[in-house]
Amino acid sequence: MPFLTVKFNLQNRVKLAQGLWMLYWLSVIVGIAIFSLGLFFKIELRKRSEIMDNSESHLVPNLLILVGALACGINAFGGKTCHDSLDPLKFAKLKPLLRPYMLLCCGFNALLLLLVLLCFIMQFSVYLTLAEGLKNAIRFYKDTDTPGRCFMKRTLDMTQIEFRCCGNNNFRDWFEVQWISNRYLDMSNELVKDRVLSNVEGKYLMDSVPFSCCNPGSPRPCIQHHLTNNTAHYDYDHRIEQLNIWSRGCRGAVFSYYSSIMNSIGALLIVTIVLESADVAGLKYLSTSLETMADPENPECESEGWLLEKGMKETFADMITKLKTLGRANQVEEGADAPEATS
C-alpha cells in the first residue's frame, strides 16, 4: 500500500516540475546565504581571536562553509533534474541517478540537523574561551614591549570601546591587576613604593581603569583614577555614579554578540532543513509519477505519485532486513545463501 499517493495528470506533473525547479533554485540561494554566513562568522572569530587566547574553535564556521557549498551543488543538480524530467529521453538517462541522489539528500539533511545542534551547544565553548581569554588579556594589557603581546593593549582598548564594556565581569577586574608597565613607574617615588609593597606579589595596584572604560554619554568628564575615593573628586559618590564608566563586563557583551550570530545561523539552518525536506519529497513525487505512467509514449496519461512504495512500517522493516543482510555479507557463504533462498 503506497504511502500518501497523489494522482497526476500532465498539467499537474508540469506544474510540479516547475514549482520544484523554483524551490531548488531558492534552496541554492539559501545555500549561498549559509556559505556567506559561515565566512562572516569565521572572520568575526578571527578578528577577536586575540582576546580568546587564539584558542577558539573554528569547527562551526568551517562546517557551515562546507555545508553551504554542498547545498549549492546538490540543489543545482536537483534543479537540473527537474528541468530535464519532462523530457522522456533525458529523464531515462537520469533515472538510475535519482535513488542515490535522494539518499544523499537525506544524509545531507541529517548533517544539517547535526549542525543546528552544534550551533546551540558550541555557545558554551565560546563562553568559556572568552572568560579565559579576557582574563589573560587584562593581565597582559601592560606588556606592550613583549613580542607577541604588544598589541594586546590596543585590542582590549578597541574591544572595550566597541562593545561598551569594562573588564571581564565588571570594572573591578582592573583593580586586581597591574595594568601600567614598570617602564612608566617612577620607582623612587614614595607613593609608588607604598603601593608596590602593599601586596604580596609586588604589583602596582590602584583603583583606576584605562580610558577605554569611559562612557561618552556621561554628562561629566570621565573620572578614571581614584574611583573608590569619594573625596578625590568634587561632588562624586562612587556608589550612585552610574554613567561615568561602562558597568557591563566584556565577557557578557562579546558573548551576547556571538550568541546572537549563532542563534540566527541556527534559525536559518532550521529553515534550510524544512526546504530540503520539501525538495526531496517533491522530487520523490515527480520521479514516481513519471515512472508509473501506464503508457510512456503518451505524455497525457494519468499516473500516480507517492512518497514511499510501501507503508511506513513495511519500509522500515525492509530497511532493517537490508542492514542485517549487509552485516551478514561478511559471514560464511552458507549463511549468505540462506536469505537468498528464502527471498
Partner 1 sequence: MTLLKMKFNQQRRVRLAQGLWLMSWMAVMCGAFVFCLGVYLKIELLRRAEVMDNAEIHVVPNILIMVGLASIGTNWVATRVCQDSLDATRFPRWKVLLLPWFAVAALLCCLLVAVVVLSYALQGRLEESLKEGLRNGIRFYKDTDVPGRCFQKETIDRLQMDFRCCGNNNFKDWFEVQWVSNRYLDFTSQEVKDRIRSNVDRRYLLDGVPFSCCNPSSPRPCLRYHLTDNHAHFNYDYQGEELNLHPRGCRKALVDYYMGLLNSTGPGVLSVILIQMSVFLSLRYLQTAVEGALDLENPEDESEGYILEKGVKETFEDVKLQILGLLKFGQVDPTEEAPVDEDAEKAASPSPDS
User: What residues line the site for partner 1 (CB under 8 A)?
Assistant: 144-145, 150, 153-154, 157-158, 161, 179-181, 183-186, 189, 210-212, 214, 216-217, 219-222, 224, 233-235
| Nearer Cβ to partner 1 (150/271) | 150
Instruction: Let me know: does 51 contact 155? Beta carbons within 8 Å.
Output: yes
Shortest CB 209 distance to partner 1, Å: 10
| Nearer Cβ to partner 1 (122/180) | 180
Rounded Cα gap, residues 99 and 108, in angstroms: 14
Q: Which three cell numbers stand for residue 251?
A: 565577557
| Nearer Cβ to partner 1 (136/181) | 181
| Nearer Cβ to partner 1 (12/218) | 218
Q: If you write DSSP's letter for every residue of 30-91 in order, what string do you get?
A: HHHHHHHHHHHHHHHHHHTGGGGTT----HHHHHHHHHHHHHHHHHHHHHHHHHHHTSHHHH
Q: Is residue 280 exposed (0-12), middle (13-18) or buried (19+ Cβ within 10 Å)?
A: buried
Shortest CB 16 distance to partner 1, Å: 31
| Nearer Cβ to partner 1 (17/253) | 253
Rounded Cα gap, residues 249 and 318, in angstroms: 57
The per-residue b/e assignment along 118-137, b for 16 or more CB within 10 angstroms, e otherwise, is bbeebbeebbebbeebbbbb
Shortest CB 270 distance to partner 1, Å: 32
Shortest CB 47 distance to partner 1, Å: 15
| Nearer Cβ to partner 1 (212/287) | 212
Single-letter code of the amino acid located at 32: I
Single-letter code of the amino acid located at 173: D
Shortest CB 129 distance to partner 1, Å: 23
Shortest CB 192 distance to partner 1, Å: 9
Rounded Cα gap, residues 71 and 108, in angstroms: 8
